[in-house]
Structure 1
């Protein structure tokens, strides 16, 4: 409740246009919350809210990404492009996300889960770059709404049958395949799983840098968080049906990796790479063993920081070249070598090179999948290989070669941009030192 009141009192500051103050207070809140780590099943329980280790890490990630998002969006404040409204919707989104992760009631979780869609939709449609953002917003909206209706019906049915919606009492075993898919559908779209992923590249390409950071950093994690919370009710059905979803996710990972190699838009390439990572996360979790669970949580944090950092890098290139085309963004190594170093650090983290947290996540997920079935190994080999290929393709095409002669508004990297990149990369690599938190 203390954290919620802190966030609610930030809302008036949005309309006073105190951008720097909001940014600093979010850092203060993150540091304060950092001391409130919870190792128990649920702790700090108030009326309907409480958190465990999983909720704790995701709320901390949300606060950190929101702070970085404010730092990345300085252009909105310089141009005064409805900056008060932008701040308001950003803080409102953080309020909804924190309430989603703190909720201990199924219906309240569902309500805040859906409410978080509204601010991100407004941010894409309001501060996006091209007219196609309307179509991208509608894609995202209808994909999510169509999939979430079965989830609402599942919650109503559950309440009618068991007269309880608290997470702490959900030690049941439901054996209905229909209920299994009613529960799963909304999370598979939000994740997004292969075949349900078409809204994601569109939304990323049309969103502003803030929209992309939030989408990649936090919104995709809502799907995996929901699955982890709800899935223990469907263990019997999962043992029989998970094999189909695991195979589909891994096969989808290979297909989407090949799709990445054909992209000419930098943002689109990174968005498709998110689908590959989320497919690996989903298939590792569905093996239903401890390594898969720990690997999923690790990958959620690692992907949140790494993918958000890559979208910041694309935006820095876009501000200099006025294009996201991979054919125009060339030769950065000749112009800003230090920015090329940042590209190298984040792209190498994206392909799970040490010492990044991505490496730990992928080792755990691959181990759980091979333990589940040794036949998964063949698909995992291809996914790992093609992940390295498209990451090297992204780095070498954008950093090497002759730079485009029609450069417009070219400027050297400044301290704010440098700080922004290192605040993505340092937590991503330093968390590995205390990775024993994930094994508690």
Structure 2
């Protein structure tokens, strides 16, 4: 584990001593491929070093972090071309990567908590430093307050866990039985807000709309997954209480997902539509994790990785249009198939993955989550039915509205798309659809 960490740490001086943008970019991809080749096919903890190690669940998420962070630098070449503090930008991306790497590979709950919180700082700096509108200050405050208000009780709960079991090491933790309700509430709430769950999701669309493309990619691609990963880890301590109270989160998540799908229909901002669709997808992940069965946990891992790639790719597409027309409004970004015909293919491919069409990883994840949630309660098929149907409806609405029809008369000039952009979209779409062939990895 330490070799990857050291490589990341030793890459940080490169950003600061000179303009090594493309070198750092290439090295990030090199680390991704090295990490990918080191895949283990057994489900035990491995690559163990001092308080770091990966198992099945965290390996996929670390690989996703490496991949999305590499693609963030690809997507943000406008920062490099306009020399807009590009070295500090790359430094922040690397720092964020180190925090994510450490949080997913921590074997102790306390170190996981520290890195989980530390990943907020670079995200906030990305939004405040490279965001678009002046409202980004408000979005940053929303992001900080929503996540910190829920995280402080979690820290107190971790002290209590340590007081009772004298360890915070994952494999040694045991179930606390019917300890007390607030303990359960505080330990779950921090992760549910990070996911985000319906009712505490308001920070997400705000942050997405104000964030630069790199901020949106990492938020949708990896930071939402920290919540799911955290729930997976702490379920071990609260499984007894979970049997009594999980039904509430499950019901709220699924019904909230349906409500959020309705909110998606009336969005005119492309980015905010994609952000709300993330909330709807994550509600299924919450449902799968709260059933506490094998199908649910592995299906949520599968959907998290699929959604990370797909959602990140959709944000890239919306950014490509934004760079051309200077607007994200669906009222202006219409009829793009006339202006950028080959980009419409990528819109179609990523939109179809977003509504879980085969052969995407999202389909694999959603099928197993359907399995797990319906096995938990057969009545939940109603909300799941609406969720799946509406996800197709708002994705089609976004695709058809942005691609078809007559284009906006005020467009002065529009290029078809650079090789860099097609390359970026290919690297989102290819793993998303190739990994479907390795389905057994997720359901060992």
> Is the shorter-chain TM-score for this pair beyond 0.5, marking a shared fold?
yes
CA contact (8 A) 1:104 1:166 kept: yes
Is residue 276 of structure 1 aligned with residue 280 of structure 2?
yes
**Structure 2 residue aligned with 1:92:** 95
- Structure 1 residue 313: deviation in Å? 0.1
Task: Indicate which of 30, 35, 38 corresponds to 2:37.
Answer: 35
* RMSD over equivalenced CA pairs, Å: 0.8
CA contact (8 A) 1:218 1:304 kept: yes
Paired with 2:261 and 2:175, the residues of 1 have a C-alpha distance of 38
Alignment partner of 1:286: what SS?
helix
- Equivalent runs, 1:149-168 vs 2, <5 Å: 149-168=152-171
Paired with 1:385 and 1:180, the residues of 2 have a C-alpha distance of 33
Alignment partner of 2:52: what SS?
coil
Is residue 355 of structure 1 aligned with residue 359 of structure 2?
yes
- Structure 1 residue 95: deviation in Å? 0.4
Paired with 1:328 and 1:86, the residues of 2 have a C-alpha distance of 30
- Equivalent runs, 1:400-419 vs 2, <5 Å: 400-419=404-423
- Structure 1 residue 40: deviation in Å? 3.4
**Structure 2 residue aligned with 1:234:** 238
Q: Which ranges of structure 2 fall in alignment gaps of 5 or more residues? A: none
Task: Indicate which of 402, 413, 426 corresponds to 1:398.
Answer: 402
CA contact (8 A) 2:127 2:210 kept: yes
Q: Work out the number of aligned pairs and report it.
A: 440
- Structure 1 residue 408: deviation in Å? 4.0
- Structure 1 residue 157: deviation in Å? 1.0
CA contact (8 A) 1:322 1:408 kept: no
- Structure 1 residue 163: deviation in Å? 1.3
- Structure 1 residue 406: deviation in Å? 0.8
- Structure 1 length-normalised TM: 0.99
Task: Indicate which of 112, 131, 136 corresponds to 1:133.
Answer: 136
- Structure 1 residue 174: deviation in Å? 3.4
**Structure 2 residue aligned with 1:102:** 105
**Structure 2 residue aligned with 1:68:** 71
Is residue 9 of structure 1 aligned with residue 13 of structure 2?
no
**Structure 2 residue aligned with 1:432:** 436
CA contact (8 A) 1:191 1:278 kept: yes
**Structure 2 residue aligned with 1:115:** 118
- Structure 2 length-normalised TM: 0.98
- Equivalent runs, 1:260-271 vs 2, <5 Å: 260-271=264-275
Paired with 2:120 and 2:413, the residues of 1 have a C-alpha distance of 35
Paired with 1:91 and 1:408, the residues of 2 have a C-alpha distance of 37
Task: Indicate which of 12, 23, 26 corresponds to 2:25.
Answer: 23
Paired with 1:157 and 1:255, the residues of 2 have a C-alpha distance of 36
Is residue 216 of structure 1 aligned with residue 220 of structure 2?
yes
Alignment partner of 2:95: what SS?
helix
Q: Which ranges of structure 1 fall in alignment gaps of 5 or more residues? A: none
CA contact (8 A) 1:187 1:227 kept: yes
